[in-house]
């Protein structure tokens, strides 16, 4: 299990760098970490991030900007509320202006 814990920590480290008002995707994080086919594992790490109070998990959405992880936020609207508090507009469970707000860790942090 050390590899999984290390992977989760690596995911959380990247998510901590997502700027307020921006979002990224599970797949973009996986690709940045060199495990492009492990977007689902990034999702598991995000689900486990609730024990990490400094990880802004709301800033991670699916590749289309949908709030696919919203069921893990305690209430059905909590993820949207957190994103809106970050300055991100959400309508019908989708980030508005997703391409403009998308933060690519590979570009921002170097690959």
What is the reported pTM? 0.92
Taking domain 2-100, whether its CATH number is 1.10.10.10 is answered by: yes
| Per-domain residue ranges of the chain | 2-100
Our CA angle for 25, 49, 91, nearest 5°, is: 45
Each residue of 53-71: pLDDT tens digit?
899 999 999 999 999 999 9
Q: What is the rounded distance in angstroms from the CA atom of residue 40 to the CA atom of residue 108? A: 22
pLDDT of residue 5: 60
């Amino acid at each position: 299990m050390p590899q999984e814990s290390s992977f989760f920590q690596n995911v959380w480290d990247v998510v901590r760098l997502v700027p307020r008002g921006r979002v990224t995707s599970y797949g973009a994080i996986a690709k940045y970490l060199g495990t492009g086919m492990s977007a689902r594992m990034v999702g598991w790490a995000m689900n486990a991030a609730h024990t990490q109070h400094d990880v802004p998990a709301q800033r991670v959405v699916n590749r289309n900007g949908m709030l696919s992880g919203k069921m893990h936020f305690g209430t059905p609207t909590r993820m949207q509320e957190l994103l809106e508090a970050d300055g991100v507009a959400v309508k019908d469970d989708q980030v508005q202006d997703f391409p403009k707000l998308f933060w690519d860790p590979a570009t921002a942090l170097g690959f």
